[in-house]
Chain A
Amino acid sequence: MVLAQESAATGIGIYLPLVLLFALALAFAVFSVLLGPLVGPQRYNKAKQAAYECGIEPSPQPLVGAGRMPVAYYVTAMLFILFDIEMVFLFPYAVSADALGLWGVGAVTLFIATFFIADFYVWRRGGLDWN
Chain B
Amino acid sequence: MTNVFLAQADIEAPPIDYAAILPMLIILGAACVGVLFEAFLPKHQRWPGQVTLSLLALAGAGVALGAYAGDSPERGVTTLSGTLAVDRPALFLWGTLLALALAALLLIADRSVEPGGAFVAQAGIAPGTVQDREQVGSTGMQTEVFPLTLFALGGMMAFTAANDLLTMFIALEVLSLPLYLMCGLARRRRLISQEAAVKYFLLGAFASAFFLYGLALLYGYAGSVRLADIANATAGTDRSDTLLFAGLGLLLVGLLFKGSVGPFHTWTPDVYQGAPTPITAFMAACTKVAAFGAILRVLTVAFETTNWEWRGVLWAVAIVSMLIGAVLGLTQTDVKRMIAYSSIAHAGFLLIGTMALTDEGLSGTMFYLLAYGFTTLAAFGVISLVRDSTGEATHLSAWAGLAKRSPLLAGVFTFLLLALAGIPLTSGFVGKFVVFSAALSDGMAPLVVIALVFSAVAAFFYLRVVVLMYFSEPAPEGPSVSVPGAFTTAAITLGVVVTLLLGVAPTFALDWAGAGGFALGS
B397 to chain A, nearest CB (A): 34
**Cα distance A67–B125 when bound, in Å?**
7
* Total cross-chain contacts (CB, 8 A): 53
A99 to chain B, nearest CB (A): 5
Q: With A61-B126, A99-B11, A120-B36 given, is the CB distance from A68 to B5 under 8 Å?
A: no
CB pair A99–B8 under 8 Å, yes or no, is yes
Specify the chain B residue showing the minimal Cβ separation from A113: B32
Question: Is B131 part of the binding interface, using a Cβ–Cβ cutoff of 8 Å?
Answer: yes
From B10, B32, B36, B126, contact of A69 by CB (8 A): B126
A127 to chain B, nearest CB (A): 10
Q: Which residues in A have their C-beta under 8 angstroms from that of B9? A: 99
Shortest Cβ-Cβ A-B pairs, 8 listed = A67-B129, A124-B39, A121-B39, A120-B39, A99-B11, A103-B13, A117-B32, A67-B131
A 89-131 contacts with B by CB, 8 A: 95-96, 99-101, 103-104, 107, 114, 117-118, 120-121, 123-125
Q: Which residues in B have their C-beta under 8 angstroms from that of A63? A: 129-130
CB pair B125–A117 under 8 Å, yes or no, is no
Between-chain CB contacts (< 8 Å), 19 pairs:
A63-B129, A63-B130, A64-B130, A68-B125, A68-B131, A71-B124, A96-B8, A99-B8, A99-B9, A99-B10, A99-B11, A100-B11, A107-B13, A117-B32, A117-B39, A120-B35, A120-B36, A121-B35, A124-B38
Query: How many B residues face the partner with a CB closer than 8 A?
Result: 19
**Cα distance A114–B40 when bound, in Å?**
16
From A95, A114, A125, contact of B39 by CB (8 A): A125
Specify the chain A residue showing the minimal Cβ separation from B4: A95
Chain A residues touching B, range: 20 to 34
Q: Which residues in B have their C-beta under 8 angstroms from that of A67? A: 125-126, 129-132
CB pair B5–A123 under 8 Å, yes or no, is no
Q: Which residues in A have their C-beta under 8 angstroms from that of B38? A: 121, 124-125
B367 to chain A, nearest CB (A): 36
CB pair A117–B35 under 8 Å, yes or no, is yes
CB pair B39–A123 under 8 Å, yes or no, is yes
Q: Which residues in B have their C-beta under 8 angstroms from that of A107? A: 13
A108 to chain B, nearest CB (A): 12
CB pair A68–B39 under 8 Å, yes or no, is no
Q: Which of A104, A117, A120 has most B Cβ within 10 Å? A: A117
Specify the chain B residue showing the minimal Cβ separation from A67: B129
A 17-48 contacts with B by CB, 8 A: none
B35 to chain A, nearest CB (A): 5
Q: Which residues in A have their C-beta under 8 angstroms from that of B5? A: 95-96
**Cα distance A103–B10 when bound, in Å?**
11
Specify the chain A residue showing the minimal Cβ separation from B37: A121
Chain B 1-17 per-residue mask, 1 if CB under 8 angstroms from chain A, else 0: 00001001111010000
From B8, B11, B124, B129, contact of A61 by CB (8 A): B129
CB pair B129–A114 under 8 Å, yes or no, is no
Specify the chain A residue showing the minimal Cβ separation from B8: A99
Q: Which residues in B have their C-beta under 8 angstroms from that of A120? A: 35-36, 39-40
B442 to chain A, nearest CB (A): 45
**Cα distance A64–B133 when bound, in Å?**
12
CB pair B10–A68 under 8 Å, yes or no, is no
CB pair B126–A124 under 8 Å, yes or no, is no
**Cα distance A62–B35 when bound, in Å?**
33
Q: Which residues in A have their C-beta under 8 angstroms from that of B32? A: 114, 117
**Cα distance A15–B17 when bound, in Å?**
43
B124 to chain A, nearest CB (A): 6
Specify the chain A residue showing the minimal Cβ separation from B32: A117
**Cα distance A104–B130 when bound, in Å?**
52
Q: Which residues in A have their C-beta under 8 angstroms from that of B36? A: 117, 120-121
A76 to chain B, nearest CB (A): 16
Q: Which residues in B have their C-beta under 8 angstroms from that of A68? A: 124-126, 129, 131
Q: Which residues in A have their C-beta under 8 angstroms from that of B40? A: 120, 124
Specify the chain A residue showing the minimal Cβ separation from B2: A95
A68 to chain B, nearest CB (A): 6
**Cα distance A114–B151 when bound, in Å?**
13
**Cα distance A114–B13 when bound, in Å?**
20
CB pair A118–B35 under 8 Å, yes or no, is yes
**Besides A99-B11, A124-B39, 19 new A-B residue pairs in contact (Cβ under 8 A), listed by A number:** A61-B126, A64-B130, A67-B126, A67-B132, A68-B129, A68-B131, A69-B126, A95-B5, A96-B5, A99-B8, A99-B10, A100-B11, A117-B32, A120-B35, A120-B36, A120-B39, A120-B40, A124-B38, A125-B39
A85 to chain B, nearest CB (A): 13
B130 to chain A, nearest CB (A): 6
**Cα distance A67–B40 when bound, in Å?**
28
B136 to chain A, nearest CB (A): 14
From A71, A96, A124, A125, contact of B11 by CB (8 A): A96
**Cα distance A107–B14 when bound, in Å?**
12
A52 to chain B, nearest CB (A): 17
B75 to chain A, nearest CB (A): 29
Specify the chain A residue showing the minimal Cβ separation from B125: A68
**Cα distance A117–B35 when bound, in Å?**
7
Q: Which residues in B have their C-beta under 8 angstroms from that of A95? A: 5
Q: Which residues in B have their C-beta under 8 angstroms from that of A103? A: 13
**Cα distance A61–B124 when bound, in Å?**
14
Chain B 93-135 per-residue mask, 1 if CB under 8 angstroms from chain A, else 0: 0000000000000000000000000000000111001111000
**Cα distance A99–B8 when bound, in Å?**
7
